[in-house]
Structure 1
Amino acid sequence: MEITLSDNALKTFARCITCLARIGNELAIQASSSQLLFHTINSSRSAYQCIAFKSGLFDAYNVSSNSLQCSVLLKAVCAVLRTPITNIDHLTVRLPDPDAPKVQWILDCYNGMRKTYWITCNVEPDIHHLSLDRQKFPSNFVVRPRDLSRLLANFQSSLQEITIIATEPSSLLTDASNEIGGKEVELRSYMDPTKDNDTLLHTQLWIDPKEEFLQYVHTGDPIDVTFSVKELKAFLSFCEGCEVDLHLHFEKAGEPILMAPKFGLEDGSHSNFDATLVLATMLISQLHEGAASEPPVGATGTHPHTEERNASHMLQENCRANVSFEPPSDHTRIWSDLSVHLKALVLWKNDRHKEKQF
């Protein structure tokens, strides 16, 4: 295998590596005559990301074998791309043969300097390609990355999990619902009921999809999904850097949530790459934990930015922004398994808190 990138394609490639490194530790590489696949999974198997590059993205693309696969440490690849992209004329990646012990990375800089790196391949790569049909998810919405980042700014930076509650627009018929003023989507900070949350800030944000989203599809009863914020923010930064909208697909609590750029290859666009992020969701529905939450008083008929300020800081006034580094309780460890079949249930590993160091 030998591939070469330059200019905008190299910038896109670097953004992809940065995003993958924020998800997992190992980069699995699969190459065929038509495309190059990069994918990774985190240590707790609750987040999986795959990026597919079409051969047309590269200045030169040559894969001699029908199927080639290997894996390298993402930390090592990030070290290669530590050189500013603006200083690089082109990047070449070579794997002499499928059984080669190392991958060669060559940076040819504008000043005439050539930097060569050799990254050791994993002897027995654990490569699992996860494929989900986006069309089978009953609910979805499209949002601009900057808009979603602005909404997430209302929550504490130490927040680990967030809940999205989706309601069918036509089902808001009660007086209590009318007070929300057509805000069919709620963002809610997840609070572990097994811990003392008296000192933590609980934030609830009601959103009107017509104002904040570019597209919103949900029918039937209200549903909710609770998932990790860390990977969401990583993918948001990736989409914002690529100047594309974010498309979220989901079903219900316990089923995975899928995120992809709006220009996804399924839409028939002419993009030369596509990305998919799949996150496990908490099995326990937050809708069943108690009565439905009440909307903030006076939120109707105000400007969207004013609504955010009215809805963001609730319940606890005597809060402090402290970060807990203790392992989550059993209540928060139970997630859907993102292995090959996505059906088995696994316990949230005790060392999940160590991921904060990455």
Structure 2
Amino acid sequence: MELSMSGSSLRTFGRCVTFLARVASELVLQAHPAKLELHTLNSSRSAYGSVSLARDFFDTYHLDAAASAPSSTPLQCSVLLKSLLAVLRTPHAALDRLAISLPEPDSPKLQFTLHCLNGVRKTYWIVCSAEPEVQSLALDRGRFPSRLTIRPRELARLLSNFQSSLQELTIIATDPAAGLPDAGGDVGGKAVELRSYNDPAKDDCDTRLHTQLWIDPVEEFVEYVHAGDPVDVTFGVKELKAFLTFCEGCEVDILLFFEKTGEPVLLVPRFGLDDGSTSDFEATLVLATMTVSQLADSNDAQQPATSAQHNVEPRAATTPSVSNHTKIWSELSAMLNR
């Protein structure tokens, strides 16, 4: 495999790697005849990120004859994202192009060559994992009955109302015709609520501050589709912010699909091309959601997480980036390789 990129493609590639590095630590590259796919899955199997780069994205894109056959198995390898970030540390403004090479399908190292504008050439070799775990997840957007589209700048403004240490966020969606139920008073057309989720088992300062934000979809969203009964989804904030930064850098809107508690949410960039053309790259972020609804009243909302620990077998290991109740998140692993 040999490929090279420059200009805007090189900058986009850098944003893709940075986004995926904030989701997980290891990257699986799969080279197909028509595209290069980048996949990553975090250790708790609650967040999956992928990027697909079309052949036209690159200045040159070459696979050997065996890998180029339509029926052949994709050429793949796995590298640590920390190492890849170190390679891309050189400012893009100083680079002419980047070349990537895998001499043989079973090569132990992946070669990266940076061609700088001042004539300097930097070559790096990154060790490949011996047996990369193949990670692929395809969700049909049509399965999600609800969605919203928001500009990254607007989402960043909304998230600024919450503590920077917040780990999980709840989105409550209501039919705009019915309005958001609120015992404290009339909220008008504010059919969406953003609510901080704090681990009830923790007794610290973070759990003493609870933030609720009511939103009018007409004012804040580019698009909002939801009908029927209210639904809520609770998912990780860290990965959401990583995707926000990626979409902001690419100057595209964020499209979020969701269904109900316990079902994954799907985030993709909304390119909004008016000429009918398609983008030469795609990105996907899938986040598992908590299996306990936050729509119950405030007294009952403190109990479900504890009771769920006795009903759900903890299959995923917890990590410092999520709460102690990661074990009650719905797992993405059941949907992998479908």
TM-score (norm 2): 0.86
1:254-303 deviation line (CA, Å, top 9, x unaligned):
000110001289x964210000000010000001354899xxxxxxxxxx
Partner letter of residue 26 of structure 2?
E
1:58-103 per-position Cα deviation (integer Å, ceiling 9, x unaligned): 0001122142011111111101000111101000000011111111
Partner of 1:35: 35
- How many equivalent pairs are there? 310
Q: How far 1:202 sits from its partner (Å)?
A: 0.7
1:33-59 Cα shifts (integer Å, max 9, x gaps): 100000101111110001000000100
Give the whole-Å Cα distance in 2 for the aligned partners of 1:91 and 1:68: 20
Task: Say whether the 8 Å CA contact 1:263–1:269 is kept in structure 2.
Answer: no
Shift of 1:171: 1.8
Q: Hey, what does 2:311 align to over in structure 1?
A: none
Residue 163, structure 1, aligned to residue 170, structure 2: yes
Q: 1:192 to 1:242 in 2, by over 3 A?
A: same
**In the TM superposition, what are the counterparts of 1:14-25 in structure 2 within 5 Å?**
14-25=14-25
Q: Which runs of structure 1 show a deviation greater than 4 angstroms over 4 or more consecutive aligned residues?
A: 173-178, 289-293
CA contact (8 A) 1:191 1:197 kept: no
Residue 109 (structure 2) aligns with: 102
Residue of structure 1 equivalent to 2:5: 5
| AA partner of residue 270 (structure 2) | K
- The change in CA–CA distance for 1:196 and 1:56 in structure 2 (over 3 A counts) is same
Aligned partner of 1:181: which letter?
G
Alpha-carbon contact 1:129-1:340 (below 8 Å) kept: no
- Does 2:232 align with 1:224? yes
Alignment of 1:56-75 (within 5 A): 56-64=56-64, 65-66=67-68, 67-75=74-82
Q: Does structure 1 residue 203 correspond to structure 2 residue 211?
A: yes
Report if aligned partners of 1:259, 1:277 keep a CA contact under 8 Å in 2. yes
How far apart are residue 333 of structure 1 and its match? 2.9
After the TM superposition, which residues 66-215 of structure 1 pair with which residues of structure 2 at under 5 Å, given as runs?
66=68, 67-172=74-179, 179-196=186-203, 200-215=208-223
- Please tell me whether the aligned partners of residues 179 and 188 of structure 2 are also in contact (alpha carbons under 8 angstroms): no
SS in 1 for 2:239: helix
In structure 2, what is the Cα distance between the partners aligned to 1:145 and 1:24?
22
- 1:77 is paired with a residue whose SS is helix
Amino acid at match of 1:26: E
- Residue correspondence of structure 1 range 314-325 to structure 2 within 5 A: none
Aligned partner letter, 2:224: Y
1:28 Cα deviation from its structure 2 partner: 0.3
Alpha-carbon deviation of 1:176?
Answer: 5.6
Gap change, CA 1:175 and 1:264, over 3 Å in 2: closer
Distance in 2 separating the partners of 1:224 and 1:39: 28
The change in CA–CA distance for 1:334 and 1:170 in structure 2 (over 3 A counts) is same
**Partner in structure 2 of residue 335 of structure 1:** 329
SS of match in other structure, 1:170 = coil
CA distance in 1, matches of 2:130, 2:272: 33
Structure 1 pair 170–227 and aligned structure 2 pair: CA distance change class (3 A): same
Two-structure CA RMSD over aligned residues (Å) = 2.4
8 A Cα contact 2:179 2:190, kept in partner: no
Tell whether the 8 Å contact from 1:192 to 1:332 is kept in structure 2 after alignment.
no
Amino acid at match of 1:87: A
Deviation at 1:196, TM superposition (A): 3.2
Deviation at 1:192, TM superposition (A): 1.9
Match of 1:347 in 2: none
Whether the aligned pair in 2 keeps the contact of 1:30 and 1:69 (CA below 8 Å) is yes
CA distance in structure 1 between the aligned counterparts of 2:106 and 2:267, rounded to whole angstroms? 34
Deviations 1:219-258 (A, max 9, x none): 1100000000000000000000000000000001100011
- The CA deviation at 1:339 is 1.4
Q: 2:280 aligns with which of 250, 258, 272?
A: 272
| Of 197-206 and 72-81, the range deviating more from structure 2 | 197-206
Q: Which amino acid aligns with 1:277?
A: L
Residue 287 of structure 1 aligns to a residue whose secondary structure is: coil
Structure 2 gap ranges (5+): 69-73, 302-319
- Contact kept? 1:336, 1:342, Cα under 8 Å: no
Contact 2:28–2:132 at 8 Å: present in 1 too? Answer: yes
Q: Which amino acid aligns with 1:144?
A: R
% identity of equivalent residues: 59
Write the distance in 2 (CA, Å) between the matches of 1:116 and 1:184: 53
For the Cα contact (< 8 Å) 1:7–1:90, is it kept in 2?
yes
Partner Cα separation in structure 2 for residue 173 and residue 77 of structure 1: 45
**SS at structure 2 position matched to 1:285:** coil
Indicate how the Cα distance of structure 1 residues 214 and 41 shifts in structure 2: closer, same or farther if over 3 A, else same.
same
Gap runs ≥5 in structure 1: 294-324, 344-358
Distance (Å, rounded) in 1 between the aligned partners of 2:181 and 2:321 = 42
Q: Contact 1:130–1:340 (CA<8 Å) still a contact in 2?
A: no
Contact 2:180 2:192 in 1 (8 A): no
CA separation of 1:139 and 1:326: change in aligned 2, threshold 3 A: closer
